[in-house]
């Protein structure tokens, strides 16, 4: 069954269309009412190594691992020897030596997941590395869209905001394009790096309005204040005035267009609170799909390990 799935999940880059669809299909299968989740991870230990803050990703991976029968251990920088200067590699290698088979890793450095996968035998799942990739976010976003619209092929999806710092935008564009969607990036020029159109096969806009025209789905990105250096924005109030997603702007999209946000949200900055809580919002559907996708990913990597013997 699992011949397509890679040993690690480091990014959407390198994932085949067939493997991506296998993850989405497995997520749906394991979510069906009455289907009992297999104890694929019984007797295994999953390490949650989060070197950056997280609510959605960390909690849903933990729930998914426990559903599959795993023991879960967590490293937090403030309460581990990371605070004494222990490196990422030494930290994960130490817990792997205690017997954890899978490490779910979030780190501020782009490439951190690949760095570990190249150096230790543990299966590495990338839970977000710097501005590079956040593959399970892209997968849960794709699952949310597929569940709501029944397909991804041929849809127009506008991803709007702080593209420069967004691993969600990068992984999302790679996956949605792989599945046949037309993807648009929109951001203020200071938050829109050059070369995105060629690198990701997307259409690029430096104003939000034309990017929304005729879109089936609009995803607002968080303004990542913790990663923003220099002074690329006059103020958050000004950002909201020029780029914030609101009812008036959403009216430019297709009638009935859906609104997404990966979270955490800056309400009143990149998205109006009323829109985020309104009937077109898929924000909580995304959160729900996160548990399903992470269950599928852990199940598939574990099955792959079993096949490897
Ligand atoms: N979307 C996302 O990665 O959220 P968290 O930072 O809360 O995990």
Contact 142, 149 (CB under 8 A): no
pLDDT higher than threshold 60 for residue 1: no
* Same domain, residue pair 201 and 246: yes
pLDDT higher than threshold 70 for residue 54: yes
What residues make up the domain containing 277?
135-285
Q: For residue 158, what are the β-bridge partners?
A: 184, 218
CB neighbour list of residue 66: distance below 8 Å, 6 or more residues apart: 72
- The answer to whether the CB of 110 is under 6 A from ligand 1 is no
pLDDT higher than threshold 80 for residue 186: yes
* Same domain, residue pair 183 and 273: yes
CA 227 to chain centre: 17
Contact 305, 9 (CB under 8 A): no
* Same domain, residue pair 45 and 153: no
In the chain, how many domains are there?
2
**Side-chain half-sphere CA neighbours of 71 within 13 A:** 9
The Å distance, Cα 73 to ligand 1 centre, comes to 19
> Which residue has its alpha carbon closest to ligand 1 atom 4?
56
* Same domain, residue pair 231 and 214: yes
d(CA 105, CA 251): 39
Instruction: Work out the pLDDT band at 225, boundaries 50, 70, 90.
Output: confident
Counting from 1 in the atom list of ligand 1, the atom nearest the Cα of 53 is: 6
Q: Which CATH number goes with the domain that contains 207?
A: 3.40.50.1370
The Å distance, Cα 307 to ligand 1 centre, comes to 31
Whether 179 is in a domain gets the answer yes
Whether 267 is in a domain gets the answer yes
> Which residue has its alpha carbon closest to ligand 1 atom 6?
54
The Å distance, Cα 95 to ligand 1 centre, comes to 24
The Å distance, Cα 309 to ligand 1 centre, comes to 33
> Which residue has its alpha carbon closest to ligand 1 atom 3?
57
What are the tens digits of pLDDT across the range 83-120? Answer: 999 999 999 999 999 999 999 999 999 999 999 999 99
Which pTM was predicted? 0.96
The Å distance, Cα 146 to ligand 1 centre, comes to 21
- The answer to whether the CB of 262 is under 6 A from ligand 1 is yes
d(CA 249, CA 129): 31
């Amino acid at each position: 069954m699992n011949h397509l799935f890679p040993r690690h999940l480091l990014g959407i880059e390198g994932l085949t269309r067939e493997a991506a669809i296998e993850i989405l299909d497995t997520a749906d299968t394991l979510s069906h009412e009455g289907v009992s989740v297999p104890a694929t991870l019984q007797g295994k230990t999953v390490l949650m190594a989060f070197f950056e803050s997280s609510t959605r990703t960390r909690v849903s991976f933990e729930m998914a691992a426990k559903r599959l029968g795993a023991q879960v251990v967590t490293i937090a920088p403030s309460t581990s020897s990371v605070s004494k200067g222990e490196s990422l590699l030494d930290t994960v290698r130490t817990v792997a030596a205690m017997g954890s088979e899978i490490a779910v890793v979030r780190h501020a450095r782009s490439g951190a997941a690949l760095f570990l996968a190249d150096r230790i035998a543990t299966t590495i799942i990338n839970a977000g590395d710097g501005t590079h990739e956040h593959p399970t976010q892209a997968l849960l976003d794709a699952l949310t869209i597929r569940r709501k619209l029944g397909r991804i092929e041929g849809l127009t999806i506008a991803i709007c905001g702080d593209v420069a710092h967004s691993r969600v935008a990068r992984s999302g564009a790679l996956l949605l394009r792989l599945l046949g969607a037309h993807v648009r990036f929109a951001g203020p020029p200071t938050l829109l790096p050059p070369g995105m159109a060629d690198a990701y096969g997307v259409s690029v806009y430096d104003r939000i309005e034309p990017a929304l025209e005729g879109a089936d789905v609009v995803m607002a990105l968080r303004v990542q204040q913790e990663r923003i250096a220099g002074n690329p924005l006059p103020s958050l109030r000004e950002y909201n005035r020029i780029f914030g997603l609101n009812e008036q702007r959403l009216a430019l999209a297709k009638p009935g267009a859906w609104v997404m946000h990966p979270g955490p949200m800056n309400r009143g900055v990149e998205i109006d609170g009323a829109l985020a809580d309104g009937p077109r919002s898929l924000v909580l559907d995304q959160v729900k799909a996160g548990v399903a996708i992470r269950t599928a990913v852990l199940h598939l990597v574990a099955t792959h390990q079993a096949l490897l013997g």
